[in-house]
Amino acid sequence: MSITILGIESSCDDTSASVLRDGVIHSNITATQTVHMAYGGVVPELASRAHQQNIIPVVDLALKEANVTADDIDAVAFTRGPGLLGSLMVGTSFAKGFALSKNIPLIEVNHLKAHILAHFIDDLKNTYDHPNFPFLALLVSGGNSQIIIVKDHMDMEVIGETIDDAAGEAFDKCAKVMGIPYPGGPVIDKRSKEGNPLAFEFSRPKIQGLNYSFSGLKTSFLYFLRDRVKENPNFIEENMNDLCASLQYTIVDVLMNKVKRAVRETGIKEVAIAGGVSANSGLQNAMKEAAVKLGWKVYIPQLGYSLDNAAMIAITGYFKYLKKDFVEQDTAPFARMTIK
């Protein structure tokens, strides 16, 4: 019997819907919000309003692209959290209404787990290489930097995480200081390819164990620019590529040092990266280099499945559907959720 899942993602500023049939993604539609660029970051109220405008046409297009109708859907999977509460409410409310109208099961999804389970996505164009259990996952995004042992699709253990800012947050905040518009991470990645990663040296945190900290790096970068701009008002413009390359090199180096330690301590040599920052070319290259030099097997998600998207919600929902792990209509979204 065929299983068809509708996935809904609305945790931040992307409205996304995906249709999965028997473990294969048939459509994955995402509407991005450009309104936030003028404010240098996501404005929660504006995000919620945009989700309300986008959710119905996005779902409609996802159904049409998958060549299915609403009556073909066997269950609805939705992001319960973490994320912006107003944004989550839009996706949650739509999913609940859809499931109620069709009398089908409702499946809650942890957004963080879904990023990791994106590595189990197959689509109509490709069958991808999937990690073997157990494997290590480096989850890096605007709000999270975690090292996780993935024992099964639903059994994950966090062994290291940031104690303050996340890696993606460090990228965006340092970009803002340089006058780069939001989101700054992709711009830094692009400019870094033309710069010298060893041109400037920035503070590296000395945190015990496998935990991360990026607040010190961010402050170090700010003070460095302040002092250099006093000497030369055009310092940032004249050294933009080298600044981007050196900053990216430092952040990636901090991330990789902890991952290498995690591999040594656990003995697990299959390593996956997940989350928005997994699209960063510097991090991807560092992972590939580690694979060659250290004998790791690394997994890098496709770009369309690394950023926030509903395909990762649908595949997570599929695994939960097989376990009959459903929720009731009184389920409410959570702004804060952890990987348990």
**What stretch of H or E contains 293?**
helix 281-294
Percent of the chain with pLDDT over 70: 99
Please report which confidence band the pLDDT of residue 232 belongs to, taking 50, 70 and 90 as the band edges: very high
Beta strand segments in the chain, E: 4-9, 14-21, 24-32, 75-81, 106-110, 122-123, 135-140, 145-152, 155-161, 270-274, 297-299
pLDDT band at 282 (very low <50, low <70, confident <90, very high): very high
| pTM reported for the whole predicted model | 0.95
**CATH superfamily, region 135-301:** ATPase, nucleotide binding domain (3.30.420.40)
Sequential DSSP letters for 52-76: HHHHHHHHHHHHHHTT--GGG--EE
Residue 281, annotated as binding a ligand = no
Query: Encoding tokens for residue 38?
Result: 């003028």
Ligand-binding site membership of 185 (annotated): yes
Instruction: Please determine, for residue 143, whether its predicted confidence score (pLDDT) is greater than 90.
Output: no
Domain ranges of the chain: 4-127+305-323, 135-301
115 is in an annotated binding site: yes
- C-alpha distances (whole Å) from 199 to each of 35, 162, 189, 234, 340 are 35, 27, 16, 17, 41
* Cβ-Cβ contacts under 8 Å for 298 (sequence gap 6 or more): 270, 271, 272, 273, 287, 288, 290, 291
Superfamily of domain 4-127+305-323: ATPase, nucleotide binding domain (3.30.420.40)
81 beta partners: 110
| Strand positions, DSSP E, 168-326 | 270-274, 297-299
Q: Is there a binding annotation on residue 189?
A: yes
Question: Is 140 a known ligand-binding residue?
Answer: yes
Mean pLDDT on 56-80: 98
* Dihedral sign of CA atoms 269, 304, 320, 1 in order: negative
Confidence at 134, pLDDT banded by 50, 70, 90: very high
Asked if residues 254 and 204 have their Cβ atoms less than 8 Å apart, the reply is yes
Q: Are 282 and 252 in contact (CB under 8 A)?
A: yes
Q: Is 172 annotated as a binding residue?
A: yes
141 annotated among ligand-binding-site residues: yes
What confidence score (pLDDT) does residue 41 get?
75
- 277 marked as part of a ligand binding site: no
Is 143 annotated for ligand binding?
A: yes
Q: What is the pLDDT of residues 165-183, one digit of tens each?
A: 899 989 999 999 999 988 8
- What's residue 204's pLDDT? 87
Q: Judge if 4-127+305-323 and 135-301 fold alike in CATH terms.
A: yes
Asked whether the predicted pLDDT for residue 142 surpasses 90, the reply is no
Say how far apart CA 331 and CA 84 lie, in whole Å: 16
Report how many helices (DSSP H) and strands (DSSP E) the chain contains, helices first. Answer: 11, 11
For residue 110, the SS3 value is strand
Q: Is 294 assigned to a binding site?
A: no
Could you tell me the sign of the dihedral formed by the alpha carbons of 265, 283, 247, 211, in that order? negative
